[in-house]
Amino acid sequence: MTQKIGFVGLGAMGRPMSKNIIGKGNYELIVYDVVDRAVEELVAHGAKAAASAAEVAENSDVIITMLPNSPDVEAAVLGPGGVLEGMRPGSTLIDMSTIDPATTRKVAAAVQAKGCSMLDAPVGRSTANAEDGTLLIMAGGEEDVFEACKPILSCMGSDLVHCGPIGSGEIVKIVNNMLTGIIVTANAEALTLGVKAGVKLETLLQVLRSTAANNGHLHATYPVKALKGDFSPGFAVRLAYKDMNLALSLGGQLSVPLSVAASSTQLFNMARGLGHDNHDYTSVISVVEECAGVKVRID
């Protein structure tokens, strides 16, 4: 019998991820989003539409949520008309949002109390990877649940990592995004300093890429985004700011000092103040440029 999959949250990542479930797997897909046109787009690709998250769950063996933040996940799962309301014993919830691990554990406890199972499975990489099904998926939860869900996850990701018990996927994702945010802001400061001091940007890039200072963003994001004046979002500043704050919150809970992360978070917040909320997170270089009175661009 064909397995029935539900998908709640058809945003920039959820939309292509759900399309790959239809395109790469032998599944029936039912979807819900608060934006009607997002649902209509998926229906045109062969999905069925639901009127609520609860209706998605009522008609699914596995329900996937992909939502912006912790309050959204709580509302969509635990709130009126939410996923939990419609879940049947034996069904599974996979939350692929990037949220606070404490919220993940709260939701998981409610799901398990209903005789259901749950994975937290946030994703890494870009919208382009979401489109071609090559995301990195970091999963937390029981290993047998992870193994059972692998065929579904493989429709969306090329690299699947079981990180440990429930909440572990979120922890790994938060640590990853914290370090990424630090690297992105450090690149902005380093490149601006070098250019303001009179060195050609191309020379800086050549040297930095050849030393221990090398990082993927000097190759894959900065040269095709901010350094060309293209701020169209691959990963938006507002999301980077959200994830940095998740890291600071987790650090506070565990008494881990995160002074470098705090400085990076401040730069992302300043970028938001300059109108870059929905721009690519490499646009954080604009903050440093404005203070330094210089533009850092590839000729």
Active site residues: 173
- CB 256, CB 248: distance < 8 Å: no
Cross-strand pairs, 49:
31
- CB 226, CB 282: distance < 8 Å: yes
Q: Measured between alpha carbons, how far is 147 from 233 in angstroms, rounded to an integer?
A: 33
- 3-class secondary structure, 172: helix
Q: Which helix (H) or strand (E) holds 104?
A: helix 101-113
- CB 244, CB 265: distance < 8 Å: yes
Q: Measured between alpha carbons, how far is 90 from 115 in angstroms, rounded to an integer?
A: 6
Number of other CB atoms surrounding residue 26 within 10 Å: 9
